[in-house]
């Protein structure tokens, strides 16, 4: 063995460790699947956002249209992207260091909160009765949950600066992630109910011969990518 070159020694080690090779292959396969699912999530997200924004901008932009634009971009783009930023295999942030991902995360979530608050308050002042509907009710609860989630995130972040908070920090994170997931799901339900708007149904019916087909498809897409984002955000706690 003393006369072997480093290259020969490495070759022998590789031949003697098939289990390690199997682990590497499984890791590559798992990473590839996670990245593909993450990419699919982004594609579905963009489909929903594109349809909603085209509908909102099809004519003049008033308070109703601003409500759609601000809330859809706030919830379905910034809030979802903020959650995905922390994911290990997110297609655009996976290469960032964890500390940098955390900074991007809170910036995106603060932007999301500002947009959905503005979108909700503007429409609440314009048409208070709107929030007595199922769509409006879920939207208000989603807004409240978003406020709590951002507050929980701020408390979690501040707990790292206080040594005495170390034992409770884990619970702060659990509570923050749980409330954030609830906010995401509520926003998706609210948007899905908004698809039942007669004007929206009439507009989307032009795409298909079957007038009832577009809305269920959009509901399914919205709930699917939101659940995917929620799962990724929860996995951050353990992976």
| pLDDT tens digits along 39-60 | 999 999 999 999 999 999 988 8
The full set of domains in the chain, from first to last, is 6-235 (1.20.120.1770)
Q: Examine the pLDDT at 12 and tell me if it is beyond 50.
A: no
DSSP state of 74: I
DSSP state of 132: G
Q: Examine the pLDDT at 135 and tell me if it is beyond 70.
A: yes
Cα separation, 223 vs 36, whole angstroms: 18
115-129: b (≥16 Cβ within 10 Å) or e: bbbebbebbbeeeee
For the entire predicted model, the pTM comes to 0.86
| pLDDT tens digits along 183-200 | 999 999 999 999 999 899
Of the listed ranges 67-71, 104-108, 210-214, the least confidently predicted one is 210-214
């Amino acid at each position: 063995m003393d006369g072997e070159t480093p290259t020969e020694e490495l070759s022998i080690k590789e031949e003697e460790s098939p289990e390690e090779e199997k682990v590497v292959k499984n890791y590559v396969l798992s990473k590839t699947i996670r990245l593909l699912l993450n990419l699919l999530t982004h594609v579905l997200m963009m489909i929903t956002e594109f349809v909603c924004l085209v509908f909102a901008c099809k004519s003049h932009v008033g308070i109703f249209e601003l409500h759609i634009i601000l809330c859809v971009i706030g919830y379905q783009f910034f809030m979802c992207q903020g959650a995905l930023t922390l994911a290990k295999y997110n297609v655009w942030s996976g290469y960032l260091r964890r500390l940098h991902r955390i900074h991007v995360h809170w910036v995106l979530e603060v932007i999301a909160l500002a947009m959905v608050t503005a979108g909700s308050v503007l429409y609440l002042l314009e048409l208070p009765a709107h929030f007595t509907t199922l769509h409006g009710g879920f939207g208000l609860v989603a807004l409240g949950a978003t406020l709590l989630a951002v507050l929980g995130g701020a408390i979690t972040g501040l707990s790292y600066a206080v040594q005495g908070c170390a034992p409770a920090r884990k619970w702060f994170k659990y509570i923050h992630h749980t409330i954030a997931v609830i906010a995401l799901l509520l926003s998706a339900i609210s948007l899905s109910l908004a698809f039942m708007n007669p004007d929206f149904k009439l507009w989307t019916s032009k795409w298909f011969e079957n007038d009832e087909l577009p809305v269920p498809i959009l509901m399914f897409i919205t709930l699917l990518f939101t659940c995917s984002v929620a799962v990724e955000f929860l996995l951050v706690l353990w992976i």
